[in-house]
Amino acid sequence: MTVSIILVVVAFLALVLLIRLTKGRALAPHILENPGSHLRAVDVEAFRNLMDPSEEEFLRSRLEPHEFRKLERERLRAAIEYLSAAAENAAILLRLGEAARRGPDAATAAAADKLIDDAIRLRLYAFQALPRLYLAMILPGMPISPARVADSYERMTRQVILLGLQHPPSGVSSAL
């Protein structure tokens, strides 16, 4: 009986955590007034390079094992920074999409719905990829594949640009 109660509580907490991670924390109103100044730059191509298995193999073949492990940890730290920034940007854009969805224009509402879907998807991918990246820092050489994060971020960026053409938010597309 006790095990059942513990499992139900753990499942409930996991659900709350998952909802919180996908929706993001409550943003201060001033962030939504000028979101462009709060978005962090994410270089998607640099992130792809950091996660490229062929790049990892190239470095492994050229460096001594201890040098490779040190460099790989640095690369993973950089990838974690990019991924964290992308997840934070997605939280801001999720809130912007929710605000734009309530607008009277049907095309803007449709673009906002797509932006919301992409932002939630990106946050879920980040939620899955971050533990893998931290684990790979402990165990260098562990296979990781967060390529979906880069693809999702690019889709989300395209939606922001589309939404910006229909209803320009202040400086958002230039910040991405």
pLDDT per residue as tens digits for the range 20-32: 665 555 555 556 5
- The DSSP call for residue 34 is S
d(CA 106, CA 34): 24
pLDDT per residue as tens digits for the range 109-138: 888 888 888 888 888 888 888 888 888 888
Contact 169, 79 (CB under 8 A): no
Terminal-residue alpha carbon distance, the chain: 51
Rg (CA), the chain: 19
Q: What percent of the chain has pLDDT over 70?
A: 74
Residue scoring higher pLDDT (69 or 168): 69
pLDDT per residue as tens digits for the range 142-176: 777 666 677 777 777 777 776 664 444 444 444 55
Long-range pairs for 112-117 at CB < 8 Å and ≥24 separation? 112/163, 114/159, 114/162, 115/156, 115/159, 115/160, 115/163
Give the phi and the psi of residue 131 in degrees, each rounded to 5. Answer: -60, -35
